Structure 1
Amino acid sequence: MTKREGQGRSFGLIAFAAFAAVCALGFGGLGVWQVERLAWKNGLVAAVEARSTATPLDLNEADWDGIDPEASEYQRVSASGRFAGGDTLSQAVTVYGGGFWVMTPLALADGRAVLINRGFVTAAQRDAGIERPGAVVRVSGLLRASEPDGGFLRSNDPEAGRWYSRDVAEIGAASGLDNLAPFFVDADAGDAAYPIGGLTVLTFSNNHLVYALTWFGLTLLSLFALYWLLRDRLRR
């Protein structure tokens, strides 16, 4: 082997070793990040479980300015009032297939209103007509944060009556509603055949442990490759 060939081989080994070291650091960092995400997801699941099974918060008595929809999402709530105004149908996909969420304002006695997701209907059920109670009702369900910016890769089109997400502010503006709560409520299942309530998804995918083990496995492989490349030099 000539001197130049030896220098080239040494440079190649150093380059591969540097690459393996960078990979080990990167994979290790991703593994640590997934461990942190796992802790966050476990905390979220525990918080949602606690909020969704707690004693309902009475929205008639609550100060809505003190409610953070993001921090209070899935909080069990209840409210009394009359359904008023028109229904807003937002596109939905559920265990029953494709269809719509029926969003209806619930007018409280004090003049405030909260948007209620009364449940899911199919296109056929929508066309057949959606009944609603005319008397004062008490609705129980889960508090949900607004869904701005549309959904299904589409923006809401209020003028055409096409809704792809449950954007509370946009629905309120389109319906001319004042003093509307900055959140909506997913109603529990009722006695009527439809809308079908109680379909809030309370399970969250949690694959962070698998991802963490994968990244740490790749870290070990990178470290082994680094050792294998440098083993002769380490012996000497």
Structure 2
Amino acid sequence: MNWKLIFAATLSVIVLAIFIGLGTWQLQRLKEKTGVIAVIETKIAADPVALPMLPSLETDKFLPVQFTGQIDAAYIRVLASHRDFGAGYRIISPVTLTDGRRILVDRGFIALSQALEHAPATPLSLTGNLHWPEDRNAYTPEDDLAENIWFARDVEKMAMHLGTDPVFVILRTQTDPALHPMPVTTESIPNRHLEYVGTWFLLAITWSVMTGFALWRMKRRNA
């Protein structure tokens, strides 16, 4: 009995089972993540409701809202890019609501070559989605407050800087001819599970071919 051949075959089957198991697990994760994204997309596209008095990250993220407010002259520029217009900024402005509350709104994208007009002189009816972006990470530079160039939409920090409540709405509606609304989507939600499925199953196929060839050579050599 060729114990080396038996050991090699057993080890190969174990490794193959691990690859297939990981691929199957990622397939299940793909199904779950696709379902989660579908639920979020449904929530984003729902009919807007009145802005809650105390929006909550746990229950109100992506909630479509509609409100009337006066856009203030002050604003924050957050460095960004647009697939159609290149480099530019997201414009974040304070808005004073009819009930006196002050919130933050992401009015959209403006290209570097364009100038922002003065804020509208009268209150506007605005529609958008509540959001708590997670832009900042360990590699994000510090914001340049002197030049009004920010590198992340940090809701708490922006609210303190502009004197508003830490409530952030990304608008669907346009408030300036130079601004291009960048409404909330699910594009930023990572979902690479299909890639992982392909990786693990490709490894399983490659391992099977390599193992089969190695066992064939071992058997032939010992014949």
CA contact (8 A) 2:44 2:185 kept: no
Answer yes or no: is 1:187 the counterpart of 2:171. Answer: yes
Q: CA deviation at 1:205?
A: 6.9
SS of residue in 1 equivalent to 2:98: coil
Alignment equivalent of 1:149, drawn from 115, 136, 154: 136
> How high is the TM-score relative to the length of structure 2?
0.78
Residues 220 and 173 (structure 1 numbering): CA distance in 2 closer, same or farther, change over 3 Å? Answer: same
What is the identity, as a one-letter code, of the residue corresponding to 1:179?
D
Instruction: Using the TM superposition, name which of 99-108 and 135-144 deviates more.
Output: 135-144
SS of residue in 2 equivalent to 1:172: helix
Which ranges of structure 1 fall in alignment gaps of 5 or more residues?
1-5
Alignment equivalent of 1:219, drawn from 190, 204, 218: 204
SS of residue in 1 equivalent to 2:80: strand
Match of 1:3 in 2: none
> How high is the TM-score relative to the length of structure 1?
0.74
CA contact (8 A) 1:130 1:195 kept: no
SS of residue in 2 equivalent to 1:36: helix
Q: CA deviation at 1:178?
A: 4.4
Q: CA deviation at 1:164?
A: 0.8
* In 2: Cα distance, 1:190 partner to 1:48 partner: 23
* In 2: Cα distance, 1:167 partner to 1:27 partner: 40
Q: CA deviation at 1:226?
A: 5.0
* In 1: Cα distance, 2:96 partner to 2:132 partner: 19
Which ranges of structure 2 fall in alignment gaps of 5 or more residues?
none
Alignment equivalent of 2:78, drawn from 85, 90, 109: 90
Deviations 1:178-231 (Å, cap 9, x if unpaired)? 4332xx222114274221114544446755335424423432443565566668
Answer yes or no: is 1:54 the counterpart of 2:39. Answer: no
* In 1: Cα distance, 2:138 partner to 2:110 partner: 18
Instruction: Using the TM superposition, name which of 17-26 and 105-114 deviates more.
Output: 17-26
CA contact (8 A) 1:140 1:188 kept: yes
Q: CA deviation at 1:92?
A: 0.7
Deviations 1:89-148 (Å, cap 9, x if unpaired)? 0011112111000000111233322211111111222xx343211211111012221335
Deviations 1:144-186 (Å, cap 9, x if unpaired)? 21335369742334355330111111111222x14332xx222
What is the identity, as a one-letter code, of the residue corresponding to 2:169?
V
Residues 23 and 185 (structure 1 numbering): CA distance in 2 closer, same or farther, change over 3 Å? Answer: same
Answer yes or no: is 1:81 the counterpart of 2:69. Answer: yes
What is the identity, as a one-letter code, of the residue corresponding to 1:80?
T
Residues 156 and 192 (structure 1 numbering): CA distance in 2 closer, same or farther, change over 3 Å? Answer: closer
Identity %: 25
* In 2: Cα distance, 1:162 partner to 1:15 partner: 63
Answer yes or no: is 1:121 the counterpart of 2:113. Answer: no
SS of residue in 1 equivalent to 2:57: coil
Indicate the RMSD between aligned Cα atoms, in angstroms: 3.2
Residues 44 and 76 (structure 1 numbering): CA distance in 2 closer, same or farther, change over 3 Å? Answer: same
CA contact (8 A) 2:30 2:194 kept: yes
Answer yes or no: is 1:136 the counterpart of 2:123. Answer: yes
* In 2: Cα distance, 1:145 partner to 1:103 partner: 13
CA contact (8 A) 1:141 1:187 kept: yes
